Amino acid sequence: MFDIGLNITSSQFAKDRDEVISRAHAAGVNGLLFTGTNLHESAQAQQLAQRYERCWSTAGVHPHDSSQWDDASAQQLRELARQPEVVAIGECGLDFNRNFSTPEAQERAFSAQLAIAAELGMPVFMHCRDAHARFLALLDPWLDKLPGAVLHCFTGTEEEARDCLARGLYLGITGWVCDERRGLALRELLSIIPAEKLLLETDAPYLLPRDLSPKPASRRNEPCYLPHILERVAAWRGEDARWLEQVTDANAARLFFSRPVAA
């Protein structure tokens, strides 16, 4: 199994990162992608990926941190992206729900990161919340210049899912789908996602699956719970979990590891 979204730099993992990674590997999660959400944490994620086996990272600036983006950021990101552990640009995109950075700053940073990904021939690891139309408008001109793209932690509508799939995007599904309160709509549209466009993630330490049994003592999510997400998604899609594991692992390999090394 490959967890495409783990926020290993979170302070919630500060005291026991080694144990978290060990538990994930013991649970059969043999690939982990550490999410970079700003330049500082992207550098931390790269260093941690270097430290652990079968771990890689992304490098980018999250929409919440887009107000920090400037010309120097672009050069720092290029340098970081050339490290062998870094396999995607991101987390980048738009989040008009909270607007911790202005929409204008978000759009500037997103467009700049799409350009860098195209320049370096790297896939993008993206975020979109309450910004679907503008997100696609900014993304569309770059799609034929990018080797691939995933919209991580997808929680949108069926129409939004179809828009993304029509553009060849991968969709990342988290434990949100296990939430009997908020995840039912996402559960209903699982069947429209072609298996070859599906990726799985925990987004740990966030989005602990609510249907774990027995319930963990802590509300912190961990990558060792990815097998539970796989089992549930496979059941709701009417597919064999071992088959779906093989397919989603192949998807992750195709998206993140099938590009030439950047010059």
91 is annotated as contributing to ligand binding:
yes
In the chain, the N- to C-terminal Cα span, in Å, equals 30
pLDDT the model gives residue 263 = 34
25 is in an annotated binding site: no
Structure tokens at 64: 């919440």
- Is 79 annotated as belonging to a binding site? no
Amino acid at 38: N
pLDDT at 262: 38
pLDDT score recorded for residue 139: 98
Per-residue pLDDT of the chain (263 residues; tens, 9 = 90+): 999 999 999 999 999 999 999 999 999 999 999 999 999 999 999 999 999 999 999 999 999 999 999 999 999 999 999 999 999 999 999 999 988 999 999 999 999 999 999 999 999 999 999 999 999 999 999 999 999 999 999 999 999 999 999 999 999 999 999 999 999 999 999 999 999 999 999 999 999 999 999 999 999 999 999 999 999 999 999 999 999 999 999 999 999 998 544 33
Concatenating the DSSP letter of every residue in 194-233 gives -GGGEEE---BTS---TT-SSPPSS----GGGHHHHHHHH
Cis peptide leading into 91, omega within 30 of 0? yes
The pLDDT tens digits of the residues spanning 90-118 come to: 999 999 998 899 999 999 999 999 999 99
Please name which of 202, 206, 200, 182 lies closest in space to residue 237, comparing C-alpha atoms: 200
Instruction: Look at phi and psi of residue 153 and say left if phi exceeds 0, alpha if psi is from -120 to 50, else beta.
Output: left
pLDDT at 259: 59
